[in-house]
Amino acid sequence: MKEMKPLFIIALLLLLLTGCQGDAENAASKEKGGQDPGQPAQASKEVDLSNTPEEWINEDEGELYQKYIEKKSWSKEPEAYKKATGKAVDEYMKNIGTKETKKWTEQNWAQSILSSLQTGYGDIASELENYEVVYEEMKLPDGRLLQDVPMDEITEKEDKKVNVALLIDSSGSMKAEVDGESKMALAKDSLESLAKELPESVNVSLIAFGHKGTGSDADKDMSCKAVESIYPLQPYDEGAFSESLKKFDPKGWTPLASSIELANEQLTSHSDEKTENFIYVVSDGIETCDGDPVAAAKKVKADNTNVKINIIGFDVDSEADGQLKKVAEAGGGEYSSVKTKQQLSEIENVWKEVINKNTWRWWAVNRFSDNVWTTVDHYNALRDIASTYQTMIRNEENRMIQTLNRLEKEELIDSEKRSAISSLLDGRQEKIRNYLNDLESTKRKEVKTVSDELDKRLDAIKKQVGI
């Protein structure tokens, strides 16, 4: 027994040393790969083909995608995008080389690749889902969209009469130029454009004020009495109205109050309880003939409850701006200040009074081309979104193929494993592509539905106004 004791001690020491060495190797392996040898490092999650498209789409972008690729644009800087993709794949290969992957399944591999290199589709999907099929160009003067107007309102017959009095400041200051043309010429063009859009059932008049004499004190009395109905209140005749615009030029003072009083006389004599009246004024300055345009506007409102006085202040100073605004308020209408030819040319949009049914119908008659072009714009916008996500999918697919090529070349996977991984990745992409395609198709159908409905409304309006 005594002779055996040294042998027993030696054997025990050898056993302890072997165990310590195994522990050290295991610890080193854990430090290197994050888990025990033989286990799939950092790939415990598996790609689940039962995931819904929404689940795939809402996943975050891969870590290396975010680090290298996310901020690059394939369309704007393809070389930079290609270089960034190469860096991302290189780093993935470097990282995967430190893992023990021999026992990884195709699901483990697919999850590893996706968590590093996948594209995020959440934003593009949201852009499609939230795309609004709205026809802003078809907004009525009262603020509503034509697509929201009930058909029974469109087809409802009305026998209201509408009178429109157009008042144009012809004082000497209207000679001044804006954008290379005289304010008078621009104002005449705008009023003629507005008059042309009136339906046959609407009466229109044209009143010029301050169009005689000069701006001198000697001519003040003559000029302040120069308030004339150049085109008396009657249905619009293009030739006669155009000729009336040639009968006066900017010359004298500004009898604004007197012009409003004349318009009131015309409207009152041609109105009944079913008549809706509008007064439109274009002026570039304050009253200079000792009248009270605010009081005149209040009287118009008292004599004709269904009336609105709308005023354009054309390139005015602060004093005129303040007075003209008060006149519009007293007349129950709106005041708008414009400084450019472009703003004045959009006079129909600047004067956004609540117009009666007869009047918004003739406005809508001119919107057939708006419907066509807005529909084209919607289709083009959806096509651009589709092109974006198709490019995203195609670039991601190329990135996955590039990664699989590297893995097979460096013998980390064989051809059979590669095929299995690729099948999983393709299945995911097919779900994403089909989901986004369905979203885009749904939006296209919505565009067609809205456009077709607008065509019906516009056809009904044409019948209502006798076109």
Domain ranges (residues) in the chain: 47-158+369-414+426-467, 160-355
Position 225 scores a pLDDT of 96
Cα–Cα dist 34/235, whole Å: 89
| Partners of 423 in beta bridges | none
Q: How far is CA 396 from CA 70, 120, 410, in A?
A: 12, 10, 21
Phi, psi of 417 (to 5 degrees): -65, -40
Question: Tens place of pLDDT for every residue, the chain, 467 residues?
Answer: 344 444 333 343 343 334 434 443 333 333 333 333 333 334 445 666 678 999 999 999 999 999 999 887 777 888 999 999 999 999 999 999 999 999 999 999 999 999 999 999 999 999 999 999 999 988 876 678 899 988 888 887 666 688 999 999 999 999 999 888 999 999 999 888 888 877 677 899 999 999 999 999 999 999 999 999 999 999 999 999 999 999 999 999 999 999 999 999 999 998 887 788 999 999 999 999 999 999 999 999 999 878 889 999 998 899 999 999 999 999 998 888 888 888 887 665 555 344 444 566 767 777 888 899 999 999 999 999 999 999 999 999 999 999 999 999 999 999 999 999 999 999 999 999 999 999 999 999 999 999 999 999 988 888 876 66
Position 305 scores a pLDDT of 73
Q: Roughly how many angstroms between the first and final C-alpha of the chain, as a whole number? A: 126
Phi, psi of 245 (to 5 degrees): -70, -20
Burial of 455 (0-12, 13-18, 19+ CB in 10 A): middle
Position 81 scores a pLDDT of 92
pTM over 0.75, yes/no? no
Position 32 scores a pLDDT of 32
- Specify whether the CB–CB gap between 212 and 218 falls below 8 A: no
Position 271 scores a pLDDT of 85
Position 45 scores a pLDDT of 53
Cα–Cα dist 451/60, whole Å: 37
Cα–Cα dist 54/51, whole Å: 8
Question: With respect to CATH, is domain 160-355 assigned 3.60.20.10?
Answer: no
- Specify whether the CB–CB gap between 228 and 260 falls below 8 A: no
- Specify whether the CB–CB gap between 304 and 335 falls below 8 A: no
Assign 3-class secondary structure to the chain: CCCCHHHHHHHHHHHHHHHHHHHHHHHHHHHHHCCCCCCCCCCCCCCCCCCCHHHHHCCCCCHHHHHHHCCCCCCCCHHHHHHHHHHHHHHHHHHHCCCCCCCCCHHHHHHHHHHHHCCCCHHHHHHHHCCCCCCHHHECCCCCEHHHCCHHHHHCCCCCEEEEEEEEECEHHHHCEECCEEHHHHHHHHHHHHHHCCCCCEEEEEEEECCCCCCCHHHHHHHHCCEEEEEEEEECCHHHHHHHHHHCCCCECCCHHHHHHHHHHHHHHCCCCCEEEEEEEEECCCCCCCCCHHHHHHHHHHHCCCEEEEEEEECCCHHHHHHHHHHHHHCCCCEEEECCHHHHHCHHHHCCCCCCHHHHHHHHHCCHHHHHHHHHHHHHHHHHHHHHHHHHHHHHHHHHHHHHHHHHHCCCCCHHHHHHHHHHHHHHHHHHHHHHHHHHHHHHHHHHHHHHHHHHHHHHHHHHCCC
Structure tokens at 410: 């460096």
- Specify whether the CB–CB gap between 207 and 230 falls below 8 A: yes
Q: 415-464 and 357-365 helices cross at what angle (nearest 10)?
A: 130
Q: Which residue has the tokens 């993709």?
A: 85
Position 451 scores a pLDDT of 95
